[in-house]
Chains A and B, each alone.
Chain A
């Protein structure tokens, strides 16, 4: 069977450029808008709606083969392409950067097949696809954040049996995960899971927030925007709708803690309130830079720029520590709580 979109018909090309132009034009002509066929998009949207209706619950969907390998964001791109329309503005982040090869490729696929505008500015995008990070700037109720997910079930950390884990989710039986946290405290003195921190969504389902750092976990709680999580390989998606309670699991006397950078600042913009990437240089020194490169660029021109600069009012808390006007519990405050708890215990 021959494919009319193949290179074959372009026989009068005078240069390689002409040949490639021909391939590009002919190749895209046969594809549906936003790459996926309409049936697939409907199927994914149905999954999205069900996921929104059951916050934190893993919903199966018919994951398709995509023109990128499993593990490179096939779930995220299916969710994004099913939602994008010509009026949308699309941003893709890969571990905080807009410029990684994977982010650039996903962005190019969306531009060429869905004809959307793209941006690196988190405040301008209507749909943001991301891997391993939530932007530093506060998102609003007009925006959707699509997170790429490698492992859908937080319980797989403690039990490899998906069958047993689904029963645990059905019955809300998460004691095994609590034991894993207990063991973590025994080992490190506090819960130090570096990523995929288990969170309880809407006081019902335990959810894997994808490999975002602990720094970003608190952004999920009572946010204005919709979070969608999609895993192409596992063919499952889940969601945190706007203004949903998302609580990281922690003990009463061992509270949830984010990463600390011991008073380090970004090398480029001097920010101390952003998630920093640590780089060890050849001479053995450590240097720090903002992980969210797009926001770092803004901070380089305005070092006082708040994370909610585009929002009215100051009551938009977003992760640790956010606007100077929004109080956030620092380590110092926690220490005070701990001391107070201890003295209360003695009184009893």
Chain B
């Protein structure tokens, strides 16, 4: 079953001259419009995401991965496009504030690249996770504590640290708190933006293992954005390769890794391997 269907999704930063998409992309070697200086973060992105599937989005810095992730998680507005999500009837991008608020808090979870975007560091770890439940209308303190405790266990964070300020947590723990927060309301879609950036290799492996287990158990449709091909290889069933705000290649992750067709993808994979 299709959970998410994206077509012609575009995001342009700045006052567009109207022809930015034509003036940018691989032929001109960049995504900044030479006429109006606007930046084309995404142009005409199309894909579908199915129930329980993990879609990887890979590309170099500035290729539009995070902009795409933020639009899918309703954290930022798109310039144009059509996004259909099975928990919402109609184009997700034209949802009003209340609908977006409800979708963000109950149906879509996001793990931000920068911890401070996803967590209030002065609140306790438990408080940060509780925020999602409170936003979804939970009003029983005992039930909230119980749910937060169970989420801490699921994401392998020590329950005894639940009431400590999040700023006292290690980087790996903060990332786990973000994941616990993202899955708190059993969303149908989780968006991970660079889930392991800034973590050392052993912590990266533990966070990824933990997420892979959760993803399998809950069968949640997931979009993983990363510049790290190993993360994509480990988590993603299918992969989109982005460059200059465009999707230049798409296919099963194994195929992309073993037999990349596009010249840029070949360079990307060769440079890592």
Contact residues of B between 70 and 102, Cβ < 8 Å to A: 97-98, 101
The contact size tier of chain B is: 20 to 34
With A186-B124, A252-B139, A253-B142 known as contacts, the answer to whether A171 contacts B131 (CB < 8 A) is: no
Closest 3 CB pairs of A and B: A175-B135, A178-B134, A251-B141
Which residues of chain A from 238 to 293 have any CB-CB distance to chain B below 8 Å in the complex? 251-254
Q: Complex formed: what's the CA distance from A313 to B188 in Å?
A: 57
The residues of A with any CB-CB pair to B shorter than 8 Å are 171, 173, 175-176, 178-179, 182-183, 185-186, 251-254, 345
A171 touches B141 (CB 8 A): no
Q: Is the CB of A173 within 8 A of B101?
A: yes
Residue numbers in A under 8 Å from B120 (CB-CB): 176, 179
B144 on the interface (CB 8 Å rule)?
Answer: yes
B141 engages A182 (CB within 8 Å): yes
Complex contacts, A186 vs chain B, CB 8 Å: 124, 126-127, 163
Q: Does B130 contact A (CB under 8 A)?
A: yes
Report if A183-B124 is in contact (Cβ < 8 Å); known contacts: A171-B98, A171-B101, A175-B131.
yes
Question: Once bound together, how far apart are the Cα atoms of A259 and B142, in whole Å?
Answer: 23
A194 to B124, CA, bound (A): 21
A-B contact pairs, 5 of them (CB 8 A): A171-B97, A176-B131, A183-B127, A186-B124, A253-B142
A173→B135 CA distance, assembly (Å) = 8
With a cutoff of 8 Å between Cβ atoms, the chain A residues found around residue B140 in the complex are: 251-253
1/0 contact string of B94-129 vs chain A (CB within 8 Å): 000110010001000000000000001001101110
Encoded as 1 (CB less than 8 Å from any A CB) or 0, chain B from 125 to 155 comes to 0111011001100011110100000000000
Q: Which residues of B contact A (CB under 8 A)?
A: 97-98, 101, 105, 120, 123-124, 126-128, 130-131, 134-135, 139-142, 144, 163
A182–B132 Cα gap in the complex (Å)?
12
Quick one: closest A residue to B162, CB to CB?
A186
Residues of chain B with a CB closer than 8 A to A171's CB: 97-98, 101
Residues of A within 8 A of B139 (CB): 251-252
Name the one of A182, A252, A253, A345 contacting B134, with C-beta atoms under 8 angstroms: A182
List chain B residues, Cβ under 8 A from A345. Answer: 142
Nearest Cβ in chain A — how far from B258, in angstroms?
A: 46
Q: How far is the CB of B27 from chain A (nearest CB, A)?
A: 41
Chain A contacts for B128, CB-based, 8 A: 179
Output the least CB separation between B125 and chain A (Å).
Answer: 11
B101 CB contacts on chain A under 8 angstroms? 171, 173
- In the complex, chain B residues whose CB is within 8 Å of the CB of A178: 131, 134-135
Complexed CA–CA distance, A252 and B137 (Å): 12
Distance (whole angstroms) from the CB of A76 to the closest CB of chain B: 33
Given contacts A171-B98, A173-B101, A175-B135, contact A252 B127 (CB under 8 A): no
Query: What separation, in Å, do the CA atoms of A182 and B131 have in the docked complex?
Result: 9
Which of B98, B141, B163 is the one whose CB lies under 8 Å from A252?
Answer: B141
**Chain B residues whose CB sits within 8 angstroms of the CB of A251 once the complex forms:** 139-141, 144
- Nearest residue, chain B, Cβ from A252: B140
CA distance A253 to B140 in the complex (A): 6
**Closest B residue by C-beta to A173:** B101
Contacts of A173 in B (CB 8 A): 101, 135
* B105 cross-chain contacts in A, Cβ below 8 A: 175
Cβ distance B4 to chain A, nearest Cβ, rounded Å:
25
Instruction: Name the distance in Å between B35's Cβ and chain A's nearest Cβ.
Output: 33
Closest residue on chain A to residue B131 by CB atoms? A179
C-alpha spacing A345/B163, complex, angstroms: 24
Q: How far is the CA of A175 from the CA of B130 in the complex (A)?
A: 9
A179 engages B142 (CB within 8 Å): no
Given contacts A171-B98, A183-B124, contact A254 B131 (CB under 8 A): no
In the bound complex, do residue A182 and residue B142 qualify as a contact, i.e. CB atoms below 8 Å apart?
A: no
The answer on a CB contact under 8 Å between A182 and B127 is yes
A182, B144: Cβ atoms closer than 8 Å: yes
A254 CA to B127 CA, complexed, in Å: 16
With A and B bound together, what is the CA distance between A32 and B120 in angstroms?
52
For the complex, give the distance between the alpha carbons of A184 and B130 in Å: 13
Report the separation of the CA atoms of residues A254 and B120 in the bound assembly, to the nearest whole angstrom: 24
Additional pairs, 7, CB under 8 Å, beyond known A173-B135, A175-B131, A252-B139: A175-B105, A176-B120, A182-B141, A186-B127, A251-B141, A251-B144, A345-B142
Quick check: B130 and A182 within 8 Å, CB to CB?
Answer: yes
Contact A185 B123 (CB under 8 A): no
Return the chain B residue nearest A172 by Cβ.
Answer: B98
Closest chain A CB from B130 CB (angstroms): 5
**Distance between Cα atoms of A183 and B120 in the complex (Å):** 12
Q: Which residues of A contact B127 (CB under 8 A)?
A: 179, 182-183, 186
User: What distance in Å separates the Cβ of A175 from its nearest Cβ neighbour in chain B?
Assistant: 4
- Residue of B with least CB distance to A190: B141
Nearest CB of B to A243, in Å: 25
B154 to nearest A CB, angstroms?
A: 20
* Contact partner, A183, options B97, B123, B135, B142, Cβ 8 Å: B123
- CA separation between A186 and B127, bound complex, in Å? 9
Residues of chain B lying within 8 A (CB to CB) of residue A253: 140-142
Tell me the minimal C-beta distance from B64 to chain A in angstroms: 27
**Complex formed: what's the CA distance from A182 to B124 in Å?**
10
Contact partners of A175 in chain B: CB under 8 A: 105, 131, 134-135
